[in-house]
Amino acid sequence: MDHTETTEKKKIILSGIQPTGVFTLGNYLGAVKNWHEMQEEYLCYYFIADLHSLTIHMEAAKRRAQTREAFALLLACGIDPEKSLVFVQSHNKFHAEMGWIMDCCSQFGELSRMTQFKDKSAKHPDNINAGLFTYPALMAGDILLYQADYVPVGADQTQHLEFTRDVATRFNHNYGETFKLPEGYFPKAGARVMSLQDPTSKMSKSDENPKATISILDEENVIMKKFKAAVTDSEASVHASEDKPGVTNLMTIYSAITGKTMEAVTKEFAGCGYGDFKEAVGTAVADELRPVREEYKRILDDRAYLDSEMKKGAERATAIASRTLTKVKKRVGLLLES
């Protein structure tokens, strides 16, 4: 199948995912659940950002394992490699090459203003490496290599996208029109899932309390236990209200999975105690995540299939990126191999 011909009218969305940690229920209901729908409307490019992960020290075997796991997780969550491009960043050598060219188009001053660099340096003062500093230039290279139209950005990445647009504009001005200026992609808001132990904070995989977060790979009995231990209140009435953040959060989760309105959820559990309500939410979540967990295990166990999909993804990514990189090299005056 020639993806470039059949899908050339679709806009390109590009997203890099670090090979660390597993999606939470919050990630899943907030964004991941809609990914398979996005594939119908857009040409989606997803890569495992293993080169970016090198800014953090990790055992080699662990990084390799997590890269494979992240790739398998994308496929298990509904990314169809026949419709979307899924690849490992380091499997396409053009990322590192483009990253260096973008380094040379980036100003020291603008890199030093990046808040993420300041935050991460403060958190890891023993490892303030140059890669951490030039991270946005590599990210700009990732995006511009594929002439992406849109990049999904969270609050912590908006500055990096602005930086990418600035670098692309500077390059176009200095060397001639080369890059499309990418825009931020803000999907239809999915459910905002809060911590099960502190419903005033967002559910986060970095939460130190294991009871606070549901991982999409949690076993059924673990999911049920966490929901049974979820913080509610003493009123024992299932309705959404600002002064009932715990119950409202559980209702939001149930509503996002079943498609029922908050009013319908209130009616369904009228007269029920919190015990029954929590059990119903836990069951709905367990049923929703079971196929993802089973598919993930199946893919991860089928090493030949996983390797084959990685290889296909790398070949397609390299072919697409080589067009842009060849143009970039010509523009900056690098002598091309004959």
Q: Is residue 44 within 8 Å of residue 84, measured between CB atoms? A: yes
> Which one of the listed residues 62, 118, 205, 225 is annotated catalytic?
205
Known catalytic residue: 202?
yes
> Which one of the listed residues 202, 211, 228, 312 is annotated catalytic?
202
Closest CA to 293 of 227, 218, 213, 203: 218
* C-alpha atoms less than 13 angstroms from C-alpha of 55 in its C-beta half-sphere: 21
DSSP 170-228: HHHHHH-S-----EEE-PPP---PBPSS-TTSB--TT-S-GGG--BTT--HHHHHHHHH
> Which one of the listed residues 33, 120, 244, 278 is annotated catalytic?
120
Question: CA 103 to CA 83: how far, in whole Å?
Answer: 32
Task: Write the DSSP symbol of residue 58.
Answer: -
Amino acid at 136: P
Known catalytic residue: 329?
no
Known catalytic residue: 327?
no
Closest CA to 29 of 202, 192, 240, 152: 192
Question: CA 209 to CA 206: how far, in whole Å?
Answer: 9
Catalytic residue numbers read: 120, 202, 205
